[in-house]
């Protein structure tokens, strides 16, 4: 089991966040064959409610994720990324816990059909497939998920 992570809020444009997001884009570019496979506008500091950074015991940034408010008790996970060697270490659970502090009752996420690991992760953690919403409507390479939020123990492996 890898050492514990420290999860903290950070500005969207924090230098560590700015370094992790391109790593995510690079990983997706390999899968999709294009440097920008995201439908719709990319998240920004102006449209994200909170941005979280995960740090290892030495203080290095190893993961991140943003939450965007969709309204009516809905939040959306954006830019969740964890370096491969630190996956399954709790970053997703931290995002869900943070979403609860905003009073959201459901969390949504869009992912891609060429990301079977992400699809399996969401399904394993109680997200159910929904019709594509917002910028994902009509996108053949996109799949969307939603899960109700309730105070609970942290999800192992997030």
Going by the DSSP 8-state scheme, the letter that residue 140 receives in this structure is T
Determine the Cα–Cα distance for residues 60 and 64; give it in Å rounded to an integer.
12
Are 77 and 24 in contact, with CB atoms under 8 Å apart? no
Strands 50-55 and 61-71: antiparallel
Global confidence as pTM: 0.84
Are 47 and 40 in contact, with CB atoms under 8 Å apart? no
Question: Is the residue at 67 inside a domain?
Answer: yes
Question: Is the residue at 95 inside a domain?
Answer: yes
Q: What is the pLDDT of residues 100-157, one digit of tens each?
A: 999 999 999 999 999 999 999 999 999 999 999 999 999 999 999 999 998 654 444 4
Query: Tokens 């719709």, residue?
Result: 40
pLDDT > 90 in the chain, percent: 56
Are 92 and 79 in contact, with CB atoms under 8 Å apart? no
Please state, in angstroms and as integers, the Cα–Cα distance from residue 93 to each residue in 31, 33, 77, 107, following that order: 25, 30, 11, 12
| CATH number of domain containing 62 | 3.40.630.30
Q: What is the pLDDT of residues 65-109, one digit of tens each?
A: 999 999 999 999 998 888 888 887 777 888 888 899 999 999 999
Query: Where in the sequence is the domain holding 41, given as residue range(s)?
Result: 6-148
Question: Is the residue at 154 inside a domain?
Answer: no
Question: Is the residue at 153 inside a domain?
Answer: no
Are 135 and 40 in contact, with CB atoms under 8 Å apart? yes
| For range 60-64, the mean pLDDT | 92
Please count the structural domains in the chain.
1
HSE (side-chain half, CA atoms, 13 Å) at 23: 15
Alpha carbon 101 to chain centroid, angstroms: 17
């Amino acid at each position: 089991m890898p050492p514990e992570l420290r999860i903290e809020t950070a500005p969207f444009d924090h230098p560590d966040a700015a370094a992790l997001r391109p790593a995510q884009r690079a990983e997706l570019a390999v899968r999709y064959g294009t440097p920008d496979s995201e439908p719709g506008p990319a998240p920004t500091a102006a449209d994200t409610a909170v941005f979280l950074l995960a740090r290892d015991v030495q203080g290095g940034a190893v993961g991140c994720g943003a939450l965007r408010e969709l309204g009516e008790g809905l939040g959306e996970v954006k830019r969740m990324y964890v370096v491969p060697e630190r996956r399954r270490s709790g970053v997703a659970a931290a995002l869900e816990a943070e979403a609860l502090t905003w009073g959201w009752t459901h969390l949504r996420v869009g992912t891609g059909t060429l990301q079977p690991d992400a699809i399996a992760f969401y399904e394993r953690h109680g997200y159910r497939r929904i019709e594509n919403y917002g910028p994902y409507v009509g996108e053949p390479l996109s799949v969307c998920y939603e899960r109700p939020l309730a105070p609970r123990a942290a999800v192992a492996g997030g």
